[in-house]
Amino acid sequence: MANKKENTPININPQAEIVESALFDEGIYKNIREILEAARNRAYAALSREMVMAYWSIGKQVFEITGGRAEYGELVIHKLSQRLTKDYGNGFSERNIKYMRQVYEAFPNSADACAELSWSHLRVLSQIERADIRELYVKECIEGRWSVRQLERQVHSFYVQRLLASQDKEAVRQDALETETGITPYDVIKDPYVLEFAGIKQDKKFRETDLEKALVSNLEDFMLELGKGFCLQGRQVRISYDAATHHYVDLVFYNHLLKCFVLIDLKTGKLTHADVGQMDFYVRYYDGEVKGKDDNPTIGIILCENKSDVIVKYSVLSDNKNLFASKYMLYLPTEAELKAELLKEKERLEAELKLK
Least confidently predicted of 37-46, 70-79, 105-114: 105-114
Instruction: Judge if 47 and 187 occupy the same domain.
Output: yes
Average pLDDT of every residue of the chain: 76
Answer with the one of 145, 165, 193 that is the final residue of a domain: 193
Structure confidence at residue 63 as a pLDDT band (50, 70, 90): very high
Answer with the one of 139, 169, 193 that is the final residue of a domain: 193
Query: What's the pLDDT score for residue 186?
Result: 53
- Report whether pLDDT(207) > 50: no
Which residues constitute the domain of residue 327?
205-355
Answer with the one of 193, 217, 233 that is the final residue of a domain: 193
The dihedral region occupied by 158, where left means phi > 0, alpha psi between -120 and 50, and beta the remainder, is left
Query: What's the pLDDT score for residue 206?
Result: 37
DSSP string, 298-310: PEEEEEEE-SS-E
Instruction: Detail the DSSP E strand segments found in the chain.
Output: 230-242, 245-255, 260-268, 299-305, 310-315
Instruction: Judge if 260 and 327 occupy the same domain.
Output: yes
More confident residue, 34 or 172: 34
Instruction: Judge if 350 and 311 occupy the same domain.
Output: yes
Q: Is residue 19 part of a domain?
A: no
Q: Model confidence over 94-137: pLDDT tens digits?
A: 888 998 999 999 998 876 667 778 888 898 899 898 888 898 88
299-322 average pLDDT score: 74
Q: Is residue 8 part of a domain?
A: no
Structure confidence at residue 208 as a pLDDT band (50, 70, 90): very low
- Report whether pLDDT(24) > 50: yes
User: In CATH, what number is assigned to the domain containing residue 310?
Assistant: 3.40.1350
Q: Is residue 16 part of a domain?
A: no
CB 304 within 8 A of CB 275: yes
Q: Is residue 13 part of a domain?
A: no
CB 155 within 8 A of CB 128: yes
271-277 average pLDDT score: 82
Query: What's the pLDDT score for residue 142?
Result: 86
The dihedral region occupied by 162, where left means phi > 0, alpha psi between -120 and 50, and beta the remainder, is alpha
- Report whether pLDDT(291) > 60: yes
Determine the straight-line distance between the first and last CA of the chain, rounded to whole angstroms: 63
Q: Rounded to the nearest 10 degrees, what angle do helices 26-66 and 70-88 cross at? A: 140
- Residue percentage of the chain with pLDDT more than 70: 68
How far apart are the C-alpha atoms of 335 and 110, rounded to whole Å? 54
Instruction: Judge if 180 and 214 occupy the same domain.
Output: no
How far apart are the C-alpha atoms of 37 and 348, rounded to whole Å? 46
21-36 average pLDDT score: 77
More confident residue, 152 or 317: 152
Instruction: Judge if 185 and 233 occupy the same domain.
Output: no
What type of residue sits at position 100? Answer: M
80-95 average pLDDT score: 85
Q: Model confidence over 209-259: pLDDT tens digits?
A: 555 666 677 777 777 776 578 888 888 888 876 656 678 888 888 988 888
How far apart are the C-alpha atoms of 99 and 202, rounded to whole Å? 22
How far apart are the C-alpha atoms of 79 and 73, rounded to whole Å? 10
Query: What's the pLDDT score for residue 23?
Result: 53
List the one residue out of 195, 183, 330 whose CA is nearest residue 260: 330
- Report whether pLDDT(50) > 80: yes
- Report whether pLDDT(65) > 70: yes
Q: Is residue 100 part of a domain?
A: yes
Alpha-carbon separation of residue 67 from 55, 111, 323 (angstroms): 18, 19, 39
Q: Is residue 23 part of a domain?
A: no
Instruction: Judge if 181 and 211 occupy the same domain.
Output: no
Structural domains counted in the chain: 2
Q: Model confidence over 131-156: pLDDT tens digits?
A: 888 988 888 888 888 888 788 888 87
More confident residue, 183 or 293: 293
Instruction: Judge if 146 and 41 occupy the same domain.
Output: yes
Instruction: Judge if 183 and 67 occupy the same domain.
Output: yes
Q: Is residue 1 part of a domain?
A: no
Alpha-carbon separation of residue 188 from 51, 87, 115, 185 (angstroms): 11, 23, 13, 5
189-204 average pLDDT score: 59
Backbone φ and ψ of 81, nearest 5°: -60, -45
How far apart are the C-alpha atoms of 253 and 299, rounded to whole Å? 10
Structure confidence at residue 61 as a pLDDT band (50, 70, 90): very high
More confident residue, 241 or 42: 42
How far apart are the C-alpha atoms of 38 and 18, rounded to whole Å? 28
Structure confidence at residue 343 as a pLDDT band (50, 70, 90): confident
Query: What's the pLDDT score for residue 156?
Result: 78
Count Cα neighbours of 20 within 13 Å in the Cβ-side half-sphere: 5
Instruction: Judge if 45 and 183 occupy the same domain.
Output: yes
- Residue percentage of the chain with pLDDT more than 90: 7
3-class DSSP assignment, residue 290: helix
Instruction: Judge if 189 and 243 occupy the same domain.
Output: no
Residue 111 makes CB contacts below 8 A (sequence gap 6+) with 53, 56, 57
Instruction: Judge if 232 and 121 occupy the same domain.
Output: no
Instruction: Judge if 220 and 182 occupy the same domain.
Output: no
Q: Is residue 216 part of a domain?
A: yes
Query: What's the pLDDT score for residue 233?
Result: 86
3-class DSSP assignment, residue 254: strand
How far apart are the C-alpha atoms of 339 and 356, rounded to whole Å? 26
Alpha-carbon separation of residue 303 from 38, 101, 127, 274 (angstroms): 46, 39, 36, 14
Least confidently predicted of 54-58, 73-77, 234-238, 318-322: 318-322
Q: Is the dihedral of CA 260, 266, 270, 273 positive or negative?
A: negative
